[in-house]
């Protein structure tokens, strides 16, 4: 088997929904949530609660809650979303309500765009690319270069200009309940900005029309794609909550193979890289995906950043990176992992700690099918740490770290250099998670 690639291809807070009409004068047509500590607040102005993970640290995460009427938008098309986002350097607070599903692969007039449209005028063709870089003639020691690689990069750049949405600081991007709100085929890019909220959205079908062949990646080379559904690069204070991430409708099982390797058109679902910091990922559903969450894009990222809390999420039909953590202090708690093969997505591992990452994994629940191996729930490079406690496998308390170490030549360290303190909502038992998370996570739960 070829070695897997680790490259960057890479509340307790109780809410009661009440009638919007009762407070329409105060919050307009927004969804209204009753918070036991904060009073009445509409969904679009809701902020991350105190002590709710790393993103609550310091100034906390409020997104666009201070937005005025001129910077509050309801959008339903790609062109409207681009206009609402404005300049990525504009720090004016803004709230963007996404109504329905926005197809990123459309032009400003709403016309559907295809891979052929992006390739047009660049000189790229897949057949010519495959001929130019066939390992039997081109070799396996260097990345593609020359005419067809330049054409592929040009076509990829055209697609990126259309499907990458750059989110400014002090922004909340929230799906309108009851509208199947989400983005299809696009990427939210949260780069070098602070204070962003992303909630109640389905991210689906984020696909790269022009993967690059890298014969040096892994034992047999790999096709690497370029877009995550949501990507954090040098971002701080980000709260991603109640979203759904999926490859559907094009699943990896439909990908062809070239040079004997899968032609992978999907990259990450939610990646947190380039020294991003103070992030809380809560009550999302991750499903039907391979390389799901990368924390740290390089083993050489500087220490002191990449502090991430991941709690009350469902991971189902995930191959790897749930998450893969490098360098930072990562708290993973009260998640439900179903590692049963789904639609061809067979789990390699759930959590990978490498490059001296300091992971605390507590009170999570793994559902492992008959014949599944507990030793394969974790992974590492021999330098990362996982301090595990209260984790259940099929309802039984299990030392998942010890199980991994007993079967591995590269042991995970079992002590960490920090103690989680921002743990509001931490449940001391994982036993009910398979039931409770099924109705409290993902998009379309918030009403």
Catalytic (active-site) positions? 321
Q: How many CA atoms lie within 13 A of 137 on its CB side?
A: 6
CB atoms within 10 A of CB 429: 12
Contact, 174 vs 95, CB < 8 A? yes
Q: Is the peptide bond before 249 cis (omega within 30 degrees of 0)?
A: yes
DSSP state of 347: -
3-state secondary structure of 433: helix
Q: Per-residue DSSP letters for 216-254?
A: TSTTT-EEE----SEEEES-EEEEEES-EEE-TTS-GGG
Q: Per-residue DSSP letters for 368-407?
A: --TT--GGGSEEE-SS-EEEEES-EETTEE--HHHHHHHH
Nearest Cα to 96, choosing from 21, 23, 172? 172
Judge residue 46's burial from the number of C-beta atoms within 10 Å of its C-beta, 0-12 exposed, 13-18 middle, 19 or more buried.
buried
User: Which residue in the block uniquely carries the two structure tokens 């220490």?
Assistant: 303
Contacts (Cβ under 8 Å, ≥6 apart) of 91: 168, 169, 170, 193
Structure tokens at 390: 């209260």
Contact, 426 vs 400, CB < 8 A? no
CA pair distance 87, 108, nearest whole angstrom: 17
CA pair distance 402, 416, nearest whole angstrom: 15
DSSP state of 60: -
Length of the chain: 447
Q: Are strands 212-214 and 171-175 parallel, antiparallel or unpaired?
A: unpaired
Structure tokens at 296: 């740290």
Contacts (Cβ under 8 Å, ≥6 apart) of 11: 49, 52, 282, 312, 424, 425
Phi first, then psi: give them for residue 4, nearest 5 degrees: -65, 150
Q: Are strands 257-258 and 261-262 parallel, antiparallel or unpaired?
A: antiparallel
């Amino acid at each position: 088997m070829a070695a897997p690639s680790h490259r960057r291809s890479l509340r307790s807070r109780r809410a009661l929904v009440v009638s919007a009409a009762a407070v329409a004068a105060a919050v307009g047509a927004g969804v209204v949530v009753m918070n036991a500590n904060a009073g009445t607040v509409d969904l679009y102005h809701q902020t991350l609660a105190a002590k709710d993970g790393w993103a609550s640290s310091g100034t906390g995460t409020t997104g666009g809650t201070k937005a005025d009427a001129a910077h509050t938008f309801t959008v339903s098309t790609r062109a409207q979303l681009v206009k609402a986002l404005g300049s990525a350097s504009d720090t004016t607070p803004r709230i963007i309500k996404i109504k329905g599903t926005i197809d990123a692969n459309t032009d400003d007039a709403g016309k559907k765009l295809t891979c052929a449209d992006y390739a047009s005028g660049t000189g790229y063709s897949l057949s010519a690319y495959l001929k130019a870089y066939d390992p039997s003639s081109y070799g396996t020691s260097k990345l593609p270069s020359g005419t067809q690689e330049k054409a592929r990069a040009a076509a990829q750049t055209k697609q990126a200009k259309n499907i990458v949405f750059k989110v400014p600081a002090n922004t909340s991007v929230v799906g309108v309940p009851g509208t199947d709100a989400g983005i299809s085929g696009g990427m939210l890019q949260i780069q070098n900005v602070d204070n962003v909220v992303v909630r109640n959205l389905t991210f689906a079908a984020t696909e790269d029309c022009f993967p690059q062949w890298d014969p040096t990646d892994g034992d047999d080379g790999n096709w690497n794609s370029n877009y995550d559904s949501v990507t954090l690069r040098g971002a701080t204070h980000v709260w991603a909550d109640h979203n759904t991430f999926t490859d559907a409708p094009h699943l990896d099982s439909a990908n062809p193979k070239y040079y004997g390797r899968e032609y992978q058109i999907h990259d990450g679902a939610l990646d947190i890289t380039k020294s991003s910091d103070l992030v809380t990922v809560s009550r999302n559903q991750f499903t039907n995906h391979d390389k799901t969450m990368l924390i740290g894009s390089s083993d050489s990222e500087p220490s002191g950043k990449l502090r991430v809390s991941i709690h009350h999420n469902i991971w189902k039909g995930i191959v790897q990176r749930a998450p893969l953590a490098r360098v930072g202090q990562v708290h993973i708690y009260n998640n439900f992992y179903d590692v049963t093969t789904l639609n061809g997505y067979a789990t390699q591992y759930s959590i990978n700690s490498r490059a001296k990452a300091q992971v605390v994994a507590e009170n999570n629940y793994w559902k492992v099918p008959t014949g599944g191996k507990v030793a394969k729930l974790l992974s590492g490079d021999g330098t990362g740490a996982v301090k595990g406690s209260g984790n259940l496998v099929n309802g039984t308390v299990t030392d998942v770290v010890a199980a991994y170490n007993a079967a591995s030549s590269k042991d995970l360290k079992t002590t960490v250099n920090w103690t989680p303190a921002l743990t509001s909502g931490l449940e001391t038992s994982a036993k009910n998670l398979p039931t409770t998370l099924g109705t409290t996570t993902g998009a379309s739960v918030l009403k």
